Amino acid sequence: MDVPLRSSAGVPSSRLEEILDGSDRIEELSDTDNEYEDMGTATPEEQANIEYLDSVRIPIRDSLKTETLKVQDETHEIILPYLEGNPNDFTLNAYGIPKLQRERHAHFLKKVIGDYPPQAAMMDASRPWIVYWGLQSMTALGIDIHPYQKLVAHTFSLAQHPTGGYGGGYGQLPHLACTYATILSLAMVAGTATYESVDRKTMWHFLGRMKQADGGFTMCEGGEEDIRGAFCAMVIVSLLNLPLDLSQDAPARKAGLTTFTDGLGDWVSQCQSWDGGISAAPGNEAHGAYAFCGLGCLSILGPPKETLPKYLNLPLLTHWLSSRQCSPEGGYNGRTNKLVDGCYSHWVGGCWSLVEAATSIPPSTQLWNRTALSRYILAACQEKKGGLKDKPGKHSDAYHTCYNLAGLSAAQYKYVYDESVNKDIGSANLGAPYHWKTACGYEGENVIWDSEDTVRGIHPVFIIPYRSVYECRRYFETKEDF
């Protein structure tokens, strides 16, 4: 039989089993070519971190070398010093973990929504995203975004297309991703004038043009059909309380479809792949970001307890989501055998509230490892110059800042679906997502954050503050028509 023997080299925990004394343990680890540990004796915090990492490490390693293993090993070399020690010299919290660097991030976020040099022309079509990521990160940190209200409404009014929806900027064609980021940003800054700046009637026509005969949505006219479209469209229809009927000029009517939701659940269902994850479109590889889009879409179509089991093999999905948590890094990757990346703190970490709402689990139990994720975010994803990032060695940016903070919020709170929340709204058209609440801050074992490291609660489907979600829907529920 050709079962390869487990290679013991490079598996600290298997070596460590033979070592009894704690200080020897540090010496033993310093034999690896890890520069950081060569620098001297470990502090008590570092020792505790190293012990924690050993406690979550998979003690099996195959010897077969392939490209995947090579890049994984290289990545570990880069990340581990940050999980073991504190190379950034951040102030540590009571648990010996870097504090949430609020001031640094606040400073960074101000720059994010400010002016960009000419080289940034590459993001000319993504400006609504930049604004959304920036503003959402600010609200997560508790920064008041009200001063930006007028400017936000103004910025987006220029990108609204005469035929409906929003583009990346003035004169650009409407696109569902841009429209999604725009509507979320407008909902965050709120206010009657802001809400009224949206042309809901042309929006309804635009979304009708995106609806496809197979039930899904394209991102733009002549563009790709994928699960982002399905999610973005549902977010917009629901938040703006648009009629569910397709407009008469919607091409999907020719195929016999009459509403935005016709065939949509089944289409999402087809995106569940053979390993349980969710892919961009039927047949593609399962991917964390698309998993969140799929679950988000279904959580708008109805209460997660009904829609998730109806359209997905939930046990298989749970297995796949669980497998995304990387050991020993604690953060998530987006696909099987890919590298950990801080943005999946949300894309995968954010799936758990939705999955838990659809799964019968005893109140004290949970499905995932919040401690490991928050360790990764606080210790490995904070950039010294401010902002959060993919992993050490990368630069911080608005995207990773937003989704690391959203992931941190998912780890720090228990978000629950409760029909008794907001009895006055969400009884009609796609009203399910208006019944979420924060049950409590997570207080289980192994909390590794102080109150100062805690971000604000975030609505688990819309990824903006709860209040923004409920106020927006409440406003548009007063509209009889357009």
Partner 1 sequence: MAAYNFIRNWLLTIFHSSLHLLRAILYRLNIVRLIPTKKNSMPKYYHDDEAWADIEPLPQDDGGLHPLAAIAYTDEYSEAMGYLRAVMAKNEFSERVLGLTEHIISMNPAHYTVWLYRAKTIPELGIPLKDEIAWLNPTALKHLKNYQIWHHRHTIIDALGSPEGEPEFISTMLEQDSKNYHVWSYRQWLVKRFDLFNKPEELEWTADMIETDVRNNSAWNHRYYLVVGGRDGKPSQELAKREIEYTKTAIRKAPQNQSPWNYLSGIIRAAQLPKSTIKDFALEFADLDRPDEVYSSHALDLLAEIYAEEESSRAEAEKALNLLATRYDPIRANYWNFRKGLLDQPKLTA
92-121 positions binding partner 1, by CB under 8 A: 112-118, 120-121
Two tokens at 49? 């971190």
The question of whether 437 is a catalytic residue gets the answer: no
Applying CB under 8 A, does 275 fall inside the site for partner 1?
A: yes
Residue 102 exposed, middle or buried by CB count within 10 Å (0-12, 13-18, 19+): middle
Pairwise CA distance, residues 330 & 314, whole Å: 23
Tokens of 461: 């489907």
Alpha-carbon distance 206 to 33, whole Å? 57
Taking CB under 8 A as the criterion, which residues in 337-356 touch partner 1?
A: 337-338
In whole angstroms, the minimum distance from the beta carbon of 128 to partner 1 comes to 9
Instruction: Kindly state the number of chain residues that form the binding site for partner 1, as judged by CB under 8 A.
Output: 89
Active site annotation includes 290: no
Closest distance of CB 200 from partner 1, Å: 21
In the window 37-56, what residues touch partner 1 (CB under 8 A)? 55-56
Asked if residue 464 lies in contact with residue 136, where contact means CB atoms within 8 angstroms, the answer is yes
Give Cα 168 distance to the centre of its chain: 21
Residue choice 237, 280, 291, 388 for contact with partner 1 (CB under 8 A): 280
Q: Which range of residues in 194-202, 233-241, 325-333, 420-428 is near partner 1 by CB under 8 A?
A: 325-333
- Measured distance CA(42)–CA(85) in Å, rounded: 8
Which residue in 152, 210, 232, 312 binds partner 1 (CB under 8 A)? 152
Residue of 343, 351, 402, 472 with catalytic role: 343
Out of 110, 146, 154, 423, the residue judged to bind partner 1 by CB under 8 A: 154
Q: Are 429 and 300 contacting, i.e. CB atoms less than 8 angstroms apart?
A: no
The distance of closest approach from Cβ of residue 445 to partner 1 in the complex, given in angstroms and rounded to an integer, is 11
- Footprint of partner 1 on residues 198-227 (CB under 8 A)? 220-224
User: For residues 370 and 380, is the Cβ–Cβ distance under 8 A?
Assistant: no
Q: Verify binding: residue 73, partner 1, rule CB under 8 A.
A: no
If one asks whether residue 163 binds partner 1 (CB under 8 A), the answer comes out as: no
Does 446 contact partner 1 by CB under 8 A?
A: no
**Annotation marks residue 275 as catalytic:** no
Q: Which residues contact 360 (CB under 8 A, 6 or more apart)?
A: none
Residue type, 318: T
CA distance 124 to 274: 37
- Residue in 47, 323, 429, 454 binding partner 1, rule: CB under 8 A: 323
Which segments within 168-274 are labelled E, that is strand? none
From 25, 338, 370, 473, active-site residue = 338
d(CA 63, CA 54): 20
Decide: is 9 part of the binding site for partner 1 (CB under 8 A).
no
Would you call 335 a catalytic residue per the annotation? yes
Catalytic residues: 287, 335, 338, 341, 343-344, 390, 397, 400
